């Protein structure tokens, strides 16, 4: 991976001037590389990783991992049914996987009821869907490489040779 | 009661900066750029292996030389990575960090009055271990215009008939200086001519940024006159495990082992098992850490130069050694005032030798956010 992407994927707030210093490139070449990545869709978005558990007074939210078995269709395979599913705003992630089922769908909703309703009325009712198994998420420990826990303090001595 | 302290210990140069260190250690909320160890934790697979070994009951002594499995793994590493072949049984010793290996080697080879060439700025223990072993350290002062590297001419000039060995450390703590193969070849020519041993501390070898690291023992005809030392502290972020090693000619390794068996017995088994895992599966973690250090290196050097603190680009380790001469302050005053006014800690140059005045050591083994904030504060301090 290009070093610019590596830096931004760890911390999207680093400025082009700072990236230029870190990599020994010129600021303008860093800027134009970023522009290129944004234009060709390599960089899709800049996001902030939030530990939802830390939010006080936020709307309650439940997440479920749903195993979905589907019948692939002629010519379009899994693509068409996947698109029908991932287009629902309730679906936060959707993956085609190998193994006992086909699509792993991550759904978010206000409470158990809303997620269950979504599965029953929107997902299971699709013609190509042969079956679902829903797993409600109880606790998140690590997400996208981030351990969801406040970082430990530096355990080193403040000064040493 | 009046306690007698050995004359040799009494004579060791007192660490004038101890008080400064104590001040830093007692202070809270300091951004420290004074730390001589990685800010990464030991990679999890290494820690996990250590935990597993404890669960399995590996809590005993090991052989004096260290676990054969680890010594074999080290020799495999030396051969694969650098093409230097060492015998795991006769030419390799596991020590409690490179620090112990340094102490062992000078005690093993020196007779009273023998001299050892050391370079300054250098790691703080080089002079004292030579003195404790009854030897005389002869100091070569490396110069900023040479990139803080020892030159062949300096070695020739420092040599006397009593000189037995030269101690090298590259990449260097505190300057980050390192040597290309060609530069090492030039040094080796005069080292061979003067028939010197080389005590080579290469503990920062994996953190070499601008060219490939070459162990001095890998150069033609050098293996027989080099005691090569390395450890797991810096490359694998394993300082607390305290595992180092020495590779060298059998008679010297035998002599070092003799002292080691009476004084240390062996390095901790947990550390040795963790070190084994590091060599077997740690390459990826090392490369990731190195890439991150390299970015910080460029960032800090450029930031310091922008602030008017002239700073050469170090080629390795995780230190920069900027000049503070244009502030008019001594390195100790600079460090103390910066600590008091801006709560940023660094190590004054004098810690690394009397003649290292005019410089400070900044460690970039600190998070990017810390480095950025520290540079801002240094900027405020200089206003």
Please provide the DSSP assignment of B183-201 as one string.
HHHHHHHHHHHTT-EEEEE
Alpha carbons B27 and B291: distance in angstroms, whole number: 31
Does B17 map to a domain?
yes
Does B180 map to a domain?
yes
Q: What is the 3-state secondary structure (H, E, C) of chain A?
A: CCHHHHHHHHCCCCCHHHHHHHHCCCHHHHHHHHHHHHHCCCCCCCCCCCCHHHCCCCCCCEEEEEEEEECCECCCECHHHHHHHHCCCCEEEEEECCCCCCEEEEEEECCHHHHHHHHHHHHCCCCCEEEEEEEECCCCCEECCEECCCCCCCCCCCECC
Q: Which residues contact A92 (CB under 8 A, 6 or more apart)?
A: A63, A106, A107, A108
Contact B24 A161 (CB under 8 A): no
H/E element, B72:
helix B68-82
Determine whether A131 is exposed, middle or buried from the number of CB atoms within 10 Å of its CB (0-12, 13-18, 19+): exposed
B108 and B192 housed in the same domain: yes
CB contacts of B288 in chain A (<8 Å) are none
CA angle A83/A89/A92 to nearest 5° reads 80
Contact A160 B123 (CB under 8 A): no
Distances (CA, A) of A116 to A108, A119, A121, A126, B343: 10, 5, 8, 15, 55
Tokens of B383: 């206003």
Contact B299 A22 (CB under 8 A): yes
Question: Does residue B45 register a pLDDT over 70?
Answer: yes
A31 and A89 housed in the same domain: no
Instruction: Look up the domain containing B346 and give its range.
Output: 7-42+284-382
Contact A161 B345 (CB under 8 A): no
What pLDDT, in 10s, does the model give residues A120-160? Answer: 999 999 999 999 999 999 998 998 888 888 888 888 999 99
A132 and A78 housed in the same domain: yes
Does B47 map to a domain?
no
- How much is the pLDDT for B80? 97
Contact B298 A158 (CB under 8 A): no
What pLDDT, in 10s, does the model give residues B275-312? Answer: 999 999 999 999 999 999 999 999 999 999 999 999 99
Question: Does residue A1 register a pLDDT over 90?
Answer: no
Q: Does B100 touch chain A (CB under 8 A)?
A: no
What pLDDT, in 10s, does the model give residues A71-88? Answer: 988 888 899 999 999 999
CB contacts of A7 in chain B (<8 Å) are 295
Please give the DSSP secondary-structure letter assigned to residue B3. Answer: P
Output B322-325 pairs: Cβ under 8 A, ≥24 positions apart.
Answer: B322/B359, B322/B360, B322/B362, B323/B144, B323/B358, B323/B359, B324/B349, B324/B358, B324/B359, B324/B360, B325/B358
Question: Does residue B16 register a pLDDT over 70?
Answer: no
Does B86 map to a domain?
yes
Distance to chain A for B120, nearest Cα, Å: 14
Q: Does B299 touch chain A (CB under 8 A)?
A: yes
Alpha carbons B30 and B102: distance in angstroms, whole number: 32
Q: Would you call B165 helix, strand, or coil by DSSP?
A: strand
Question: Which residues on adjacent β-strands are paired with residue B116?
Answer: B137, B165
Instruction: Look up the domain containing A30 and give its range.
Output: 3-39
Alpha carbons B43 and B35: distance in angstroms, whole number: 19
Contact A158 B124 (CB under 8 A): no
Give the mean pLDDT of B321-335.
Answer: 96
Q: Which residues contact B149 (CB under 8 A, 6 or more apart)?
A: B142, B177, B179, B183
Q: DSSP characters for B85-136?
A: ---TTTSEEEESHHHHHHHHHHHHH--TT-EEEEEES--TTHHHHHHHTT-E
* Chain B contact probe: residue of A1, A20, A158 with most B CBs at under 10 A: A158
A70 and A127 housed in the same domain: yes
Question: Which residues on adjacent β-strands are paired with residue B229?
Answer: B201, B246
- Average pLDDT of chain B is 96
Alpha carbons B262 and B255: distance in angstroms, whole number: 11
Alpha carbons A153 and A150: distance in angstroms, whole number: 9
Domain boundary residue, one of B247, B263, B282: B282
Q: What are phi and psi of B115, to 5 degrees?
A: -115, 150
Domain boundary residue, one of B282, B311, B340: B282
Residue of A nearest to B174 (CA): A161
Does A121 map to a domain?
yes
Alpha carbons A67 and A80: distance in angstroms, whole number: 17
Question: Which residues on adjacent β-strands are paired with residue B316?
Answer: B208
A24 and A71 housed in the same domain: no
What pLDDT, in 10s, does the model give residues B146-157? Answer: 999 999 999 999
Residue of B nearest to A13 (CA): B369
A30 and A68 housed in the same domain: no
Number of domains in chain B: 2
Residue of B nearest to A2 (CA): B291
* Whether the complex's predicted ipTM surpasses the cut of 0.90: no
Q: Would you call B226 helix, strand, or coil by DSSP?
A: strand
What pLDDT, in 10s, does the model give residues B93-119? Answer: 999 999 999 999 999 999 999 999 999
B135 and B221 housed in the same domain: yes
CB contacts of A161 in chain B (<8 Å) are 36, 123-125, 173, 347, 351
Sheet holding B92-95: strands in order across?
A: B92-95, B244-247, B226-231, B197-201, B163-169, B115-120, B136-141
**Higher local confidence (pLDDT), B204 or A61:** B204
CB contacts of B368 in chain A (<8 Å) are 11, 14
Does A112 map to a domain?
yes
Question: Does residue B142 register a pLDDT over 90?
Answer: yes
Contact A159 B368 (CB under 8 A): no
Domain boundary residue, one of B282, B309, B338: B282
Nearest to B37 among A6, A24, A156 (CB): A156
Contact B35 A158 (CB under 8 A): yes
Tokens of B312: 């050469």
């Amino acid at each position: 991976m290009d070093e610019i992407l590596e830096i931004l994927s760890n911390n999207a707030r680093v400025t082009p001037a700072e990236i230029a210093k870190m990599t020994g490139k010129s600021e303008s070449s860093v800027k134009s590389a970023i522009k290129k990545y944004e234009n060709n869709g390599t960089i899709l978005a800049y996001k902030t990783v939030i530990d939802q558990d830390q939010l006080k007074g936020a709307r309650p939210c439940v997440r479920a991992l749903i195993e979905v078995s589907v019948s692939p269709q002629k010519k379009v395979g899994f693509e068409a049914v996947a698109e029908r599913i991932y287009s629902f705003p309730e679906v936060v992630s959707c993956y085609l996987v190998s193994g006992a089922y086909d699509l792993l769908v991550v759904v978010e909703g206000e409470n158990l009821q809303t997620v269950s309703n979504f599965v029953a009325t929107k997902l299971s009712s699709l013609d190509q869907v042969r079956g679902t198994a829903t797993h409600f998420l109880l606790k998140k420990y690590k997400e996208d490489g981030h351990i969801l826990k406040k970082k430990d303090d530096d355990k080193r001595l403040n000064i040493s040779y | 009661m009046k306690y007698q302290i050995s004359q040799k210990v009494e004579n060791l140069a007192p660490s004038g900066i101890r008080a400064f260190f104590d001040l830093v250690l007692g202070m809270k909320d300091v951004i420290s750029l004074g730390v001589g160890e990685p800010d990464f934790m030991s990679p999890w697979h290494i820690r996990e292996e250590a935990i597993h070994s404890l669960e399995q009951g590996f809590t005993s002594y090991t052989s004096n030389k260290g676990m054969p499995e680890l010594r074999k793994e080290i020799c495999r590493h030396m051969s694969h990575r650098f093409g230097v072949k060492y015998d795991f049984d006769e030419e390799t010793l596991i020590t409690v960090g490179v620090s112990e290996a340094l102490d062992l080697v000078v005690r093993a080879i020196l007779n009273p009055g023998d001299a050892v060439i050391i370079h300054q700025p250098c790691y703080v223990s080089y002079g004292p271990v030579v003195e404790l072993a009854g030897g005389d350290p002869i100091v070569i002062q490396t110069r900023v215009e040479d990139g803080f590297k020892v030159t062949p001419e300096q070695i020739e000039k420092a040599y006397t008939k009593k000189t037995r060995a030269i101690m090298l450390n590259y990449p260097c703590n505190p300057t980050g200086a390192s040597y290309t193969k060609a530069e090492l070849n030039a040094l080796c020519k005069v080292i061979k001519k003067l028939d010197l041993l080389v005590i080579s501390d290469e503990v920062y070898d994996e953190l070499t940024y601008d060219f490939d690291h070459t162990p001095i023992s890998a150069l033609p005809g050098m293996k027989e006159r080099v005691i090569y030392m390395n450890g797991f502290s810096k490359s694998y972020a394993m300082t607390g495990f305290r595992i180092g090693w020495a590779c060298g000619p059998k008679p010297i390794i035998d002599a070092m082992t003799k002292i080691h068996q009476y004084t240390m017995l062996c390095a901790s088994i947990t550390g040795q098992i963790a070190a084994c895992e590091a060599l077997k599966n740690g390459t990826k973690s090392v490369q990731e850490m190195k890439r991150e250090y390299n970015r910080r290196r460029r960032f800090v050097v450029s930031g310091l130069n922008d602030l008017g603190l002239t700073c050469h680009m170090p080629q390795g380790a995780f230190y920069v050694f900027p000049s503070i001469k244009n502030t008019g302050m001594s390195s100790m005053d600079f460090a103390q005032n910066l600590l008091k006014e801006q709560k940023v800690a660094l190590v004054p140059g004098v810690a690394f030798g009397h003649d290292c005045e005019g410089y400070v050591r900044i460690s970039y083994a600190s998070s990017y956010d810390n480095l950025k904030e520290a540079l801002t504060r240094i900027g405020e301090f200089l206003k």
